[in-house]
Amino acid sequence: MASTKRSKFFDNAKFILIFLVVFGHLISPLKEQDGILFTLYSVIFLFHMPAFILISGYFAKGYKKKGYLKKSVKKVLIPYLIFQIIYSIFYYVIGNEDRLTFDLLHPHWTLWFLLSLFFWNLLLYGFARLRWIGFAVAIVLGILVGYVDNVGSYLSLSRTIVFFPYFLLGFLLNGNQLRKIIRAKYSLPLGMGIIITILLFFGMAFPKDSVPWLLADSSYEHMGGMEWSDGLIRALQYGVTLLVVFGFLALIPSTQYKITKIGERTLYVYLFHGFIIKSLQALVPADSLPSISGNYLLLVILSFIICLILGSYFIKKYTRPLVELTS
């Protein structure tokens, strides 16, 4: 954890997070059928992308190096454009879209992350030099942007601004600081307590109409009507999310496992799992959803298998030119 070199800790964390991404998307159409799935979905979407984003920021410390911006264009922006076109065709083929259109300014489903990641790297050039003052400014901007009525999925502006504090925090933290937080004497039991508490709280008290707050892709007005106090709710959400993120990280081992290697290939799982899940959703009849929603073990195993397949060396070998623009 002391450097940005390959880390078993981060690879383990990324594997678990990409599993949660797949599992969360798999249960998304089922969550209204089952209270347990709704609780799991809500907790997952509270912290899994903020944790992913924080880790991405941690590995952006070389932004001043020559060629960093060019690398971001090649590794992030161009793959976004390529997969935006591919998903446009895919949605038309499976019947999700009536017409074949190519809109590069409104990201399809999961592709918002790539576009936002590119913008977060750009924002570092202005915010990184401000250090913790910049982090405070980013929090304020994340709160204020919700009051802009027309902010939304266009260029992923809402998510870019709302989630940027997590990216900047990851950038600002060094290995020693992170270790002190998540490897302190009581971090492990505290982390377990945080996760259990948030699961119980969300299971008993989280309103079903509050899911859009976790997605951060629209204004306060579009999430049920704007109130002056909405900014306070988002500020509280930042605090709770960061608490859960570090509770989660405290549970991550630094041991090498067979699945650790997949942590190096999470981008492949992220980009391709949508094709599998959207195809399954198109094929499975709506009247069978109640019976599927209660089969928790099947959903977990299916999510795990998707991660294993898409994170395999075979997939990386034959799709790398498309994903990383290298042969």
Q: Of all residues in the chain, what percent carry a pLDDT higher than 70?
A: 97
Residue ranges per domain, the chain?
8-323
Mean pLDDT of the chain: 91
DSSP 225-254: ---TTHHHHHHHHHHHHHHHHHHHHHT---
Amino acid identity at 312:
S
Note the pLDDT tens digit of each residue in 207-240.
Answer: 888 999 999 999 999 887 778 899 999 999 999 9
DSSP class of 1: -
* C-beta pairs of 317-322 under 8 Å, 24+ apart in sequence: 319/268, 319/272, 322/79, 322/82
* 292 has pLDDT over 90: no
DSSP class of 63: T
* 67 has pLDDT over 90: no
Amino acid identity at 189:
P
Contacts of 15 (CB under 8 A, 6+ apart): 259, 260, 262, 263, 266, 307, 311
Angle between the N-to-C axes of helices 131-144 and 230-250, in degrees from 0 to 180, rounded to the nearest 10: 130
Separation of alpha carbons 237 and 239, rounded Å: 5
